[in-house]
């Protein structure tokens, strides 16, 4: 019986803490901001008494490049898709380029995957940006009075 209790305690101790859930506002902000980055726009926000903050499309492109490079390092680009993508863009077809992009991203839905990568990149800023949005909305209400 004592061994069973120790095993149960060990299993309990080995559990990961519950995941911190994002608020609906944060998820909504992440979706919109990720879409902006994927479309090539910067994402900006400003807290009431703080400096303006920004994540640029260039920073996202660099993050995406690192993500794709890691997939190559991990052996997930077994078709030389980087090279074939460049060739397809320069002398091939859009359909062929899309095929290589899907393979590089590891997804049949490349836009969704790009937005997921962007959302992960933006996640550390979500709470601050949502608070900035709330402050801006409060300021708008106050100025209307």
Distance CA 67, CA 37 (A): 15
The answer to whether the beta carbons of residues 113 and 129 sit under 8 Å apart is no
Q: Identify the helix (H) or strand (E) that includes residue 78.
A: none
Read off the pLDDT of each residue in 119-143 and give the average, rounded to a whole number.
Answer: 89
Query: What's the gap between Cα 120 and its chain centre?
Result: 3
Q: What is the pTM of this model?
A: 0.78
In this prediction, residues 110-137 reach a mean pLDDT of: 95
Cα distance between residue 89 and residue 83, in whole Å: 10
pLDDT at 139: 78
Which band of pLDDT confidence, cut at 50, 70 and 90, is reported for residue 140? confident
d(CA 34, CA 3): 50
């Amino acid at each position: 019986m004592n061994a069973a209790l120790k095993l149960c305690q060990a299993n309990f101790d080995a559990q990961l803490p519950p995941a911190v859930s994002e608020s609906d506002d944060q998820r909504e902000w992440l979706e919109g901001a990720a879409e902006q980055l994927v479309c090539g726009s910067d994402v900006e926000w400003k807290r009431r008494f703080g400096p303006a903050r920004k994540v640029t499309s260039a920073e996202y492109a660099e993050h995406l490049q690192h993500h794709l490079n890691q997939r190559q390092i991990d052996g997930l680009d077994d078709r030389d898709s980087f090279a074939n993508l460049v060739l397809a863009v320069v002398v091939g077809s859009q359909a062929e380029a899309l095929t290589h992009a899907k393979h590089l991203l590891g997804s049949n839905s490349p836009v969704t995957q790009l937005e997921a990568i962007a959302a992960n990149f933006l996640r550390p800023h979500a709470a601050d940006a949502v608070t900035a949005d709330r402050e801006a909305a409060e300021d708008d209400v106050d100025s209307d009075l």
